[in-house]
Amino acid sequence: MRLSTQLSTSLLVFLILVFAGSFIINVKLTREYVNEQLATHAQDTATSLGLSITPYLSEDNGIAVAETMVNAIFDRGFYQYITITDMEGNLLIERRNPNTVDTVPTWFTD
């Protein structure tokens, strides 16, 4: 085998390995970024919901109003669950979504 062929093959293999490594790192960083963005969005929504329903929880029909607000946020967002508890830890409202997204590969969501 000629030296130029060996060098070309070695360079090609090296470039393929560099591309594969770069791709894997890029996918992992993108996954971390998306997770951070989703966590920030969920925290902002939780803060907003908490501030919105606090005045209604002390009223007689406040749970119904709070549940309506939770339903509105839960139905328009992609949340796994939303729970509202009182100061003693008693569950007041709970909404859960056990569904998974079939179009997203499991290696990306794990």
Domains of the chain: 3-102 (3.30.110.200)
Side-chain half-sphere CA neighbours of 98 within 13 A: 0
Pick the closest to residue 53 from 38, 73, 39 (CA basis): 73
pTM: 0.65
The token pair at 58 is: 């002390």
pLDDT cut 90: percent of the chain above it: 44
Res 77 pLDDT > 90: no
**Pairwise pLDDT comparison (12 vs 81), residue with the higher score:** 12
Task: Kindly state the average pLDDT of the residues 98-107.
Answer: 75
Q: How confident is the model at residue 76 (pLDDT cuts 50, 70, 90)?
A: confident
**Pairwise pLDDT comparison (14 vs 91), residue with the higher score:** 14
